[in-house]
Chain A
């Protein structure tokens, strides 16, 4: 059974870049035709899809964040990562990583990490 674990700084200063990694166990980021996604949830609010990277390397981002987001894969560490630049307090949220069931994008978000809280504050 695949397991996902987010990690990264819990506090980021305004205007800086938020960087998170998702470590995958029980499977490989480089094998299988999976979508690897990031989702976030501001405190007390709903979920927001950030984007995904497909096993082929293609990416797709939420247009509201597209200019600031980069998702990439590091096969040597069996991780994928999220970078969000020029953060503001509005980017304070619990960030989740997730994986699809298989290659079907309609099963995009099946396996989830436990989430990590990132606070943007000086």
Chain B
């Protein structure tokens, strides 16, 4: 079935370093969404990308959607301790379901 692979599984960074997580789908997606889940919390929506090659920015966060609409990335510039959490991508299948990636857990050392 459809799968969304996400890497890395976890990453440790020093505060101020950059961080990137990648998602790759086995099939073309209608859209991709990104969520952040703080430890003990629930997933919170960050952004949705719909167009091929789309790039969106939110302050220090940059989101990209690949030309083939099969892959996506989230890049955080100059991480801060408040960035700690797990980042999930979720691929829209064109229907009403989304398929979540495994998540990348980010640890930031002050």
The answer to whether A binds B is no
Residues of A within 8 A of B (CB): none
Residues of B within 8 A of A (CB): none
